[in-house]
Structures are given as C-alpha cells and as structure tokens.
Amino acid sequence: MEKISTPHFRYFAYCRKSTDEKEKQILSIDQQIDELKEFAVRENLEIVEFFTEAKTAKEPGRKIFDNLLKLVENGFADGIITWHPDRLARNSIDGGKIIYLLDTGELKDLKFPTFWFQNTPQGKFMLNIAFGQSKYYVDNLSENVKRGLHFKAKRGEWPGFAPFGYKNDRNTRTLVLEPNETKLVKIIFRDFASGKFNTMKEIRDHLFRCGVKLKDGRPLHYNQIRKMLTRNFYYGVFTYAGILYEAKHPPLITKDLFDKVQLRLNSLYNTQPKKHEFDFTGLLKCKECGCAITAETHRKYYKKTNRVANYIYYRCTKKVKDCSQSYINEEQCDLQLREIVWKSGLSSSWHTGFCDLLKKDEVEAKGNITHELASLTISLEAVEKKLSRLLELYLDESINPDDYQLKKVQLLEKKLNLKSNIEKVKREGGAWLEPLKHFIEEAANAARIARGKKNGKELKFFAQKVGSNYLLEDKRISFCPIMPYVSLAARPLATCDTASSSLLCT
C-alpha cells in the first residue's frame, strides 16, 4: 500500500456491529459493506480498503479501529467512510481522536450515507453532537438497566448474585436456600453472639474446616467474614442503592440475634472515627508517577494572634515510586478547577443566544418533518391508487397474470419502503434536538458552578462531567475535555494555569 501523493481523496471504509447490540435497525456488516459500496459509486468516491470489526464501541481499545487511525495518520488514506458516526465511536476517547485528527489535518474528510458532514467548524461541532448523542444512548441504556434492578428491588427481590447461604434459581429468577451454607450461617451468628467465637480468625478457621474457601484454596479474608456478620440480608431485609427494602427471600436469623451480633462487634472492635472528606480527592492523579493524589490537613499556630488555622494540601501518595512533585494548597486547586469548568461552560449571554437558536431549530425541524411526512404520505396514497387500478385491470382481464404479479411486487415493495420511511421520520425526525438541549443546559450550569463559592463537591462533580484524566504536575492541572464540551474548551488538551482568571471574577 503506497502513501497518498495525489490530491484526489482516498477513503478507508469502516464497518462495525457489536456482538452485544440488540437493536434490529443496526445493519449487519455485510449490509453495511453493500450500502457503502453503493454510496461510493453514487458519490464517485474511491475506497482504498474495507475494515470490518465485531466489537462494541462503548469503550476504547478496538484493535482494527486503532490500526485504521494509525494508517490514516501515516497518510495511506485521506478520509473514512462509515454508515453512521456511532459506528466510529460511542465513547469520548475514540470520538476525541477523530476530532483531533480533523483538527490537525491528518484526517481530511468523513463520509456517511446517513449523516451530513463537512470539515468546517460547524461540521465538527455537529459531529461532536452526533458522538455525544451516541454516548448518550449508551448511558441511557445503562440507566434503563439500573431502573430495572431498582424495580426488582422494590418487589423485594435481590437484584444481584446470591450471598453466602443462598443460590440463584435460574428458572424462577429468585433466591433459594443452599442447605449446607445456610447451616453454617446460623452457627456463625449464634456462636458469635453467645461468645463461643471471639475473633474473626476463629470463624475463618471454622469455615475453612467446613470447606469454605476462596477459589485459590486459601481461607476467607477477615473483612469478608465481618461483612457477613453485618449484613442485614440474613434477617429478611436488604439495602440496595442506599434504600432499605423488605425481602421476599426466607430469613436465616432473627432481628434480635442480628442486633446482639452488632453489639458484640462494637464492643470487640473499636469503630474507626470518620475520616475527613476532602472535596477533590479521587479526582486527580500524579502526572509524573501515576499515583493517586491524596489530601491532608496541616494546623498552624499564630503566636501573635493566639489562634490556630487549618490548611488543606493535596499531594501525590508516592506509593509506586518516589517522585519530585510537591504539595499544592486547596485554594490553588480550587481556582484551577473553577477555570476548567468555566472554560467548558456557557455564560448567561451565550446561553440565551444558544437557546434562541435552538428554538429556531426546533421550529425548522418541525416544519421539515411535517413537510417530509406530507410528501411521503402523498407518495404512499399514489402507490395505493396504482395498486387499486392494477387490481381492477387484473379483474377486467386487461393484464395477464404474470405482468400483474410482477407489477404488484414492485408496487408493494415501494409501498413498504414508504411506510418504513414515514415511521423513521416520525421516530427520528427531531431526535438530535434533545441531546443538544441537554448539553446547552449542562454547559450553562457548569458556568454557574464555576462562579459559586465554597461548593467544592459540586465543582468536582461538574469537573468530572466536562473532562477526564485529570493530572497534576508542577502544581498545574491538565485534563482531557469530554465531548461535546471539547467544542467549548480552549484546546483539545487543555491546561489551566495557577493564575486567577478574570472570567471567574465577573
């Protein structure tokens, strides 16, 4: 394969269908190949090679897709042809790669039979929206699964794997007792409450002698045993997503016995005091060594004023290796995150302008849908009239049976296609408006959060929405904007200085 030397664009064709996709409307790989070949002939496009892959795009790491992008970077093709943007990416990282290659000019064009695209700022913005909509579909599917699990919990059914003492019945989709394990659970609770067992080690050894062990043959961990002793599941309730439900599964112990076990646990093991929760822990990693960033409070006594002040500092845990990174105080960290969220948000004036444009788009979209439906309906009525006239000719014996059957099949196919197109317009005509509206509101909210005061947890929440891969190096925070916020951020890989931003002071 030789590198491109002529100005004529050459394209790689990419076809993908995930093995776990249940949507019937997604074309198979063979169908996608046929559609792209017809599209290339119709648009006079040159396809250099076809790439096919049967893997989900929910997460990055598709080998064939990554290899295709490397070939594009090396100049073996100018553009990519695929059925729809969601065939390329349903996650922010792969979508970001595509946008970045378009920005750098290594990827010059994209072609879709089902989506308009031009390599312009407006075209890339709409592509961002399409990628965001694809990710929104994946996230929404996850929410539907969670909703189903919550509904199951409301019915009193445990929505997960059976705990020790029970097993999942595949036929009834409920929990049933596992006789040998049930007996052990009752013994453990009874003997620990009575004082026969005094330590987790004694319980672990007893279970090990009874054949309860890990997959690698070792005894259970102490924390697994303690979790078992503190699980309210065994007296006929369960906690799911922080909500307590009355269970339908048969209990193994009484509530009174469970309470006795909790009292004895508290008397034997001193409960650890609740640790201070810092606003930005869990968000940052050290760019030098990759370790997590932790926080700690330092107290300083001022002799002149006779007061003690607390200061919070964030630093690398240095668990993997020593690195040269020093502390950053909470004020610096807070200011940088506010600037990041601000740069990825919409000011009030921009929000108003975007809302006005969205309203116009909604009106225009409704008008286009109405016009298209009217046109398709007229065409459908015309086909139905032709079928009626054709039947009359056949009944009058003005047309022979073979010609009648041939013409009938042609008209029926046309009728079915028109009906399918009408349903598609009704279903998908304005589908792109809702994700765009959601994005505008979220971006406006991000700007309001950035201007807030003492709202560190909320600031962290929005920082995770607008970006990922937050890294700390030399007291500076870098991050990767998440689509479609990448369209609002300053650069594809944004870095925020420690200097205060005048925007945040307005």
pLDDT score of 490: 46
d(CA 229, CA 233): 10
The stretch 477-486 carries a mean pLDDT of 77
Higher pLDDT, 354 or 42: 42
For residue 388 the two structure tokens come to: 């009626």
Identify how many contiguous H helices and E strands the chain contains and give both numbers: 14, 15
H or E element at residue 352: helix 348-395
Higher pLDDT, 200 or 114: 200
pLDDT score of 349: 65
Average pLDDT of the residues of the chain: 79
Residue 174 has pLDDT above 50, yes or no: yes
d(CA 247, CA 236): 5
Q: Please report which confidence band the pLDDT of residue 271 belongs to, taking 50, 70 and 90 as the band edges.
A: low
Domains of the chain, first to last: 10-142 (3.40.50.1390), 166-268 (3.90.1750.20), 281-506 (no CATH)
Q: Please report which confidence band the pLDDT of residue 209 belongs to, taking 50, 70 and 90 as the band edges.
A: very high
pLDDT score of 5: 42
Percent of the chain with pLDDT over 70: 81
Q: Please report which confidence band the pLDDT of residue 504 belongs to, taking 50, 70 and 90 as the band edges.
A: very low
Higher pLDDT, 145 or 150: 150
Contacts of 363 (CB under 8 A, 6+ apart): none
Q: Are 86 and 137 in contact (CB under 8 A)?
A: yes
Residue 188 has pLDDT above 90, yes or no: yes
211 backbone φψ class: left, alpha, beta (φ>0; ψ -120 to 50): left
The amino acid present at 470, given as its one-letter code, is Y
d(CA 441, CA 73): 36
pLDDT score of 499: 34
pLDDT score of 428: 59
**111 - beta bridge partners?**
81
pLDDT score of 434: 64
Q: What is the pTM of this model?
A: 0.35
Most confidently modeled range among 147-151, 157-161, 165-169: 165-169
Residue 494 has pLDDT above 60, yes or no: no
d(CA 78, CA 106): 7
Residue 491 has pLDDT above 50, yes or no: no
Higher pLDDT, 300 or 80: 80
Residue 89 has pLDDT above 80, yes or no: yes
Burial annotation 328-350 (CB, 10 A radius, 16+ → b, else e): bebebbbbbbbbbbbbbbbbeee
Which candidate, 217, 215, 205, 256, places its Cα nearest to that of 234? 256
Percent of the chain with pLDDT over 90: 10
- Burial bucket for residue 41 (CB in 10 Å: 0-12, 13-18, 19+): exposed
pLDDT tens, residue by residue, 236-250: 888 887 777 778 888
Residue 184 has pLDDT above 90, yes or no: yes
Residue 206 has pLDDT above 90, yes or no: yes
Q: Please report which confidence band the pLDDT of residue 186 belongs to, taking 50, 70 and 90 as the band edges.
A: very high
